[in-house]
Copies of this chain bind each other. A is one copy, B any other.
Amino acid sequence: MKSMETAAQVLTKTVNGVAVDDMAQTVDAIKSNPAIAQFKFRIRNEWAGGSQNTSTVNGFHGATQEQSRRKPFVLEADEPPVLLGQDKAANPVEHLLHALASCLTTSIVYHAAARGIHIEEIESTLEGDLDLHGFLELDPRVRNGYQAVRVKFKIKADVPDDQLHEICGLGTGHSPVYDSLVKGVPVSVTAERL
């Protein structure tokens, strides 16, 4: 992969597959017009019976305008049989781990690119601890959510060991999902009749 990236870099000035010139231009554009930095991401979810539901992802607001996709992305959710589902898709707390892994990885890749650090491979395994005493109201001392999440990265890059941990810190230091999950986010929930 490294040789491909080096070839691509010559043509389009990319590092790690990221167009670093475009990233620098975005930063300059935001400095002259801060409104460019304001994004609103959206999904629409529909229940499909039991433990199954589907989200549709399409438009968002960003860079001062409404943005849309050529076609919407469809994301499914279900539960495994032991949690009373049909096992047609990953479950919500597994989707949360995917959001975290993907955001940390992209944050590492983008910010390493901005610093000229070439990365060859990144893998991660994530594990989260959940105690159903919370969800099932069996013990008020047990929280409903994850008690802890562990992320283990394996990174291949031509850097010394101490820089490997620095690269990992580019993820935790910038990732929107990591920040949201570790520090918490205000979430308002309202309901009306359909």
Interface residues, chain A, with chain B CB atoms under 8 Å away = 1, 5, 14, 16-19, 22-23, 26-27, 30-31, 34, 36-47, 49-53, 55, 57, 60, 62-63, 67, 69-70, 73, 75, 77, 79-80, 82-84, 87, 89-107, 109-110, 119, 121-138, 143-156, 161, 164-165, 167-168, 171-194
Given contact pairs A45-B101, A62-B82, A123-B44, A135 touches B187 in the complex (Cβ within 8 A): no
Residues of B within 8 A of A185 (CB): 128, 145-149, 181-182
| B194 pairs with A143, CB closer than 8 A | no
Q: What are 30 inter-chain pairs, A to B, with CB distance below 8 A?
A: A16-B50, A26-B136, A38-B132, A40-B128, A41-B91, A41-B130, A43-B101, A43-B125, A43-B126, A46-B122, A51-B109, A53-B105, A55-B97, A55-B98, A62-B80, A75-B90, A93-B177, A96-B96, A128-B185, A145-B177, A145-B180, A145-B183, A146-B180, A149-B186, A150-B188, A151-B187, A152-B190, A178-B187, A178-B189, A182-B187
